[in-house]
Chains A and B, each alone.
Chain A
Amino acid sequence: MKHLVKGQGFGAVIGVVLMLAVFSLIDASGWWTAQTMSNVIHYTAILGILAMGQALVIMTKEIDLSVGSVYGLAGIAFIMLQPALGVAGAILAALMIAAAIGVLQGYAVVRGGLPSMIVTLGGLFTVRGIIYVWTGGSVKAFPEEARNAFVTRLFGGEILGLEAAVFWMLAVAAMLNLVLWATRFGNHVLATGGSAESADSRGVLTGRVKIVTFMLCSVLAGFAGILTLADQPQTHVTIGDLMELEAISAAVIGGCLLSGGRGSLTGAVLGAFIITSFRYELIALGAPSSWFITFVGVVLIVAVIFNQKLARMAGHSV
Chain B
Amino acid sequence: MKIAKPLAAAAVLATTALSGSLAAAQESDDSYRFVMVSHIGSNDPNMAWLTLSMDEFTKRYPNVQTEYISTNQYSIQELVRLLEQAIATRPDGIAVPIVSSDALEGPLRKAIESGIPVVAFNIADPRPKDERIPYLTYVGGDEYLTGQELGKYALEQAEAGEIPMPERVVCASHDSAHQGLKARCAGMKEVMEAAGAEFEELFIGAEPATARNTMQSYLQANPDTNYIFTVAPWSAPWAWGVANDMGLDPDVDDKGMTIITVDASPAALEGIKAGHVLASSSQGFWLQGYAPMEWLYWYHELGYTPQSDILTGPTVITADAIDHWETMVRKVFGDVYDEQNTW
Binding site for B on A (CB under 8 A): 30, 33, 35-36, 39, 42-43, 46, 132, 136-142, 228, 232-236, 238-243, 276, 279-280, 283-286, 288-290
Contacts and interface: CB of A to CB of B under 8 A. Distances in A.
Given A243-B207, A280-B221, A288-B203, 14 more contacts: A30-B221, A39-B220, A136-B43, A139-B342, A228-B209, A232-B209, A233-B342, A235-B342, A238-B205, A240-B207, A241-B205, A241-B207, A283-B217, A290-B176
Main secondary structure of the interface of A (DSSP, over half): loop
Interface string B25-44: 00000000000000001011
A232 B212 contact: yes
Given A232-B208, A234-B241, A283 B218 contact: yes
Given A238-B207, A243-B210, A279-B213, A138 B220 contact: no
Contacts of A235: 208, 342
Contacts of A232: 208-209, 212, 238, 241
With most chain A CB atoms within 10 A of its CB, the pick from B205, B336, B338 is B205
Contacts of A142: 342
Interface in B286-343: 336, 338-342
B72 A137 contact: yes
Given A138-B44, A276-B213, A279-B213, A36 B339 contact: no
A129 to B, nearest CB: 10
B220 A33 contact: yes
Contacts of A46: 209
A238 B206 contact: yes
A239 B208 CA distance: 6
The 10 residue pairs across chains A and B that have the minimum distance between CB atoms: A284-B221, A137-B43, A238-B206, A280-B217, A43-B213, A283-B217, A290-B203, A234-B342, A39-B216, A241-B207
A139 B333 CA distance: 13
Contacts of B339: 138, 140-141
Contact of A139 (B207, B209, B220, B267): B267
17 contacts: A30-B221, A39-B216, A39-B217, A140-B339, A141-B338, A228-B209, A232-B208, A232-B241, A234-B234, A234-B238, A235-B342, A236-B206, A238-B208, A243-B207, A283-B217, A284-B220, A286-B221
Interface residues of B, number: 36
Nearest to A246: B210
A35 B220 contact: yes
Given A139-B234, A283-B218, A228 B208 contact: yes
B214 A234 contact: no
Contacts of A33: 220
A140 B214 contact: no
Nearest to B176: A290
Contact of B44 (A39, A137, A279): A137
B274 to A, nearest CB: 12
B170 to A, nearest CB: 11
A132 B207 contact: no
Contacts of A228: 208-209
B213 A39 contact: yes
A138 B208 contact: no
A283 B206 contact: no
Contact of A283 (B176, B221, B237): B221
B340 A30 contact: no
Contacts of A239: 207-209
B220 A30 contact: yes
Contact of A289 (B203, B246, B341): B203
A139 B174 CA distance: 15
Nearest to A277: B217
A219 B327 CA distance: 42
B207 A138 contact: no
B214 A283 contact: yes
Contacts of A139: 234, 267, 340, 342
